[in-house]
């Protein structure tokens, strides 16, 4: 179980997150949504250790990990994917998968992982993870490295950012498959209704606090009222 | 050669030399082992130190190793090597210099290399420089390379200097004839108080010739690197220079790519970047379970591969 207890985060006097309490069970599929600047990404970064909270605790399976370093959390079962995947000059897809598997890796594993994210291993294992790859390809590779880590909790920061509609269809399928595997707890920041449909819970963030938790229907009214323009635009499309 | 020599040479060759393979081993100014064939004749020069490597017309698939080893402390060795490659040749040449020096007097190797490559050839030249010993700042390797690349020929150069050479001035000059292609990959890593100056002057003389110069380097500690390249388009041609450097600690790096077009048909481009290790790269690898130090090592390893 992953618990956030009274998490607050301020920059100077500006409150980014205000007293967040949240429990995520091992096989939960949670989607976090809300307007830009509402604190969603910061929350995920706090769980991963990329940002230190001003106050509050992060508890993983009863263990306080608030002061643990990023790599320690990664090796304890928390995996994070970046909104904008990072480019590497010289490191290949194989290298990243190998690192993610703590070097217990062979190409059979690599092939299976890339298949899961809809990429052909023969074409991609030797490719450098650089800007010659498209946004959709980088995003799939980012997800493959996350799956390779075999963490208990996978945190995705706007996986749809920077990819086209067709790639997003595939991405939705990837999340459905992860959910079906029942091996990971999933926390996904998204504005996409198609992900709300398959989530166990949708959490609406606004102004650094949780405004609503529920299924798609329960939060729909709030979304309209809260003027989350991006959500509304996506919905209308 | 004793076991220690073999071990040092292994750092530049990545393999042991078979006595029946085509080779020339120079140790402390003397040729200690040599083997030629009808296709590739290695001649020791009489007027000055060095060799002539003469490759017969039409020779295909030969593999030649010509390492230099310096183990006498304070030794100063200059060699003049000429590579005379006739038309229609396909060949790989592995060269390089390894210095072992434990004393305070400087050991120095200067290699003056001239490539005369005929028409329709495909040549790969791999050159590695390596230094080892207890004391810093006493191992110097300088190179002066002249390339005449014939029509329809390609020359691929892989030049690597990643450990233990304290000072180095590397100069490469090339003239490219019609339809020829030069592909250079340079990898440098400096640490401690090392200094490297690497200069290139590439004359794109022939019609439809191409040159691609990629330099990747890492400068650590108090080391200094200066990369100066000039590519001149004198015909319908294509040229590209790319130099990327990662800078760490108190190191200093200078990069000056220069392109000159003397023909309206010349297409020349350059990219240069110097920066510290990208913070997001470090964070990404930490989220995959590596410590910051391990992440740094992986990034450097990938960058230099």
Name the 3-class secondary structure at A113: helix
For chain B, what are the domain ranges? 3-304
Nearest beta carbon to residue A99 from set B244, B280, B288: B288
Q: Residue A229 has what pLDDT?
A: 54
Q: Residue A16 has what pLDDT?
A: 94
Nearest beta carbon to residue B305 from set A74, A90, A149: A90
Asked if pLDDT for residue A237 goes beyond 70, the answer is no
Nearest beta carbon to residue B289 from set A71, A82, A89: A71
For A123-157, what is each residue's pLDDT tens digit? 999 999 998 898 888 988 999 999 999 899 999 99
For chain A, what are the domain ranges? 2-83+154-236
Chain B residues whose beta carbon lies within 8 Å of the beta carbon of residue A88? 281, 299, 302
Q: Residue A53 has what pLDDT?
A: 96
Q: Is A61 left (phi over 0), alpha (psi -120 to 50) or beta?
A: left
Q: Residue B17 has what pLDDT?
A: 84
Q: Residue A110 has what pLDDT?
A: 93
Q: Residue A172 has what pLDDT?
A: 87
Phi, psi dihedrals of residue A149, rounded to the nearest 5°: -70, -20
For the domain A2-83+154-236, what is the CATH superfamily, name and number? P-loop containing nucleotide triphosphate hydrolases (3.40.50.300)
Q: Residue A230 has what pLDDT?
A: 55
Tell me which of B284, B301, B303 to substitute to probe the interface with A (most A C-beta atoms closer than 10 Å): B284
Q: How far is A101 from chain B (nearest CA, A)?
A: 8
Chain B, nearest residue to A155 by Cα: B287
Contact residues of B toward A, CB < 8 A: 216, 244, 278, 280-281, 283-292, 294, 298-299, 301-305
Q: Residue A131 has what pLDDT?
A: 85
Asked if pLDDT for residue A117 goes beyond 90, the answer is no
Q: Residue A141 has what pLDDT?
A: 93
Q: Residue B133 has what pLDDT?
A: 86
Q: Which residues pair with B60 in a beta bridge?
A: B90
For A30-57, what is each residue's pLDDT tens digit? 999 998 888 999 999 999 999 999 999 9
- The rounded Cα A119 to chain-centroid distance in angstroms is 20
What integer best gives the mean pLDDT of chain A? 89
For A219-235, what is each residue's pLDDT tens digit? 877 766 654 555 555 55
Q: Residue B134 has what pLDDT?
A: 81
Please give chain B's pLDDT, 305 residues, in tens. Answer: 788 888 888 888 888 888 889 999 999 999 999 999 999 999 999 999 999 999 999 999 999 999 999 999 889 999 999 999 999 999 999 999 999 988 888 999 999 999 999 999 999 999 999 998 887 768 999 999 999 999 999 999 999 998 889 999 999 999 999 999 999 999 999 999 999 999 999 999 999 999 999 999 999 999 999 999 999 999 999 999 999 999 999 999 999 999 999 999 999 999 999 999 999 999 999 999 999 999 999 999 999 88
Nearest beta carbon to residue A145 from set B288, B292, B302: B288
Q: Residue B211 has what pLDDT?
A: 98
Chain A, nearest residue to B282 by Cα: A86
Contact residues of A toward B, CB < 8 A: 48, 50, 69-71, 74-75, 79-80, 82, 86-92, 95-96, 99-100, 102, 145, 149
Position of tokens 């003239």? B175
Q: Residue B6 has what pLDDT?
A: 85
Nearest beta carbon to residue B302 from set A48, A69, A88: A88
């Amino acid at each position: 179980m992953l618990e956030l207890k009274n998490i607050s985060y301020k920059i100077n006097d500006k409150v980014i997150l205000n007293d967040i309490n949240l429990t995520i069970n091992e096989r939960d599929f949670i989607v976090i949504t809300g307007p830009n600047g509402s604190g969603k990404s910061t929350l995920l970064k706090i769980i991963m250790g990329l940002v230190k909270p001003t106050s509050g605790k992060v508890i993983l399976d009863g263990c306080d990990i608030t002061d643990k370093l990023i790599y320690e959390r990664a090796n304890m079962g928390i995996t994070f994917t970046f909104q904008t995947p990072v480019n590497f000059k010289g490191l290949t897809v194989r290298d990243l998968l190998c690192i993610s598997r703590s070097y217990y890796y062979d190409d059979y594993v690599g092939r299976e992982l890339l298949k899961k994210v809809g990429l052909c291993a023969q074409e991609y294992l030797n490719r450098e993870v650089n800007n010659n790859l498209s946004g959709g390809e980088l995003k799939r590779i980012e997800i493959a490295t996350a799956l390779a880590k075999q963490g208990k909790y996978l945190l995705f920061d706007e996986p749809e950012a920077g990819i086209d509609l067709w790639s997003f269809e595939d991405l939705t399928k990837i999340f459905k498959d992860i959910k079906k595997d029942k091996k990971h707890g999933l926390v996904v920041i998204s504005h996409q209704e198609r992900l709300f449909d398959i989530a166990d819970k949708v959490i609406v963030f606004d102004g650094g606090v949780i405004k609503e938790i529920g299924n798609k229907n329960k939060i729909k009214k709030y979304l309209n009222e809260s003027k989350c323009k991006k959500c509304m635009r996506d919905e209308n499309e | 050669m004793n076991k220690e020599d073999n071990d040092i040479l292994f750092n530049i060759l990545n393999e042991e030399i078979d006595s029946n393979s085509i080779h020339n081993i120079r140790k402390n100014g003397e040729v200690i082992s040599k083997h030629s064939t009808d296709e590739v004749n290695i001649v020791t020069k009489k007027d000055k130190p060095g060799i002539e490597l003469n490759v017969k017309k039409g020779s295909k698939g030969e593999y030649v190793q010509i390492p230099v080893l310096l183990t006498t402390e304070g030794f100063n060795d200059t060699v003049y090597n000429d590579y005379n490659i006739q038309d229609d040749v396909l060949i790989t040449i592995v060269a390089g210099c390894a210095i072992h020096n434990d004393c305070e007097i400087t050991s120095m190797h200067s290699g003056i290399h001239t490539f005369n490559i005929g028409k329709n050839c495909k040549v790969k030249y791999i050159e590695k420089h390596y230094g080892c010993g207890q004391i810093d700042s006493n191992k110097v390797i300088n190179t002066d390379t002249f390339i005449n690349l014939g029509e329809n020929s390609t020359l691929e150069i892989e030049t690597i200097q990643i450990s233990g050479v304290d000072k180095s001035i590397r100069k490469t000059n090339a003239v490219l004839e019609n339809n020829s292609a030069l592909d250079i990959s340079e990898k440098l890593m400096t640490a401690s108080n090392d200094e490297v100056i690497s200069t290139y002057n590439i004359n794109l003389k022939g019609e439809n010739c191409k040159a691609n110069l990629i330099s990747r380097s890492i400068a650590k500690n108090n080391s200094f690197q200066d990369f100066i390249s000039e590519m001149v388009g004198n015909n319908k041609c294509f040229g590209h220079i790319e130099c990327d450097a990662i800078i760490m600690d108190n190191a200093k790096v200078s990069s000056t790519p220069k392109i000159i077009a003397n023909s309206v048909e010349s297409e020349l481009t350059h990219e240069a970047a110097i920066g510290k290790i990208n913070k997001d790269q470090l964070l990404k690898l930490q989220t995959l379970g590596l410590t910051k130090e391990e992440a740094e090592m992986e990034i450097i390893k990938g960058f230099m591969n």
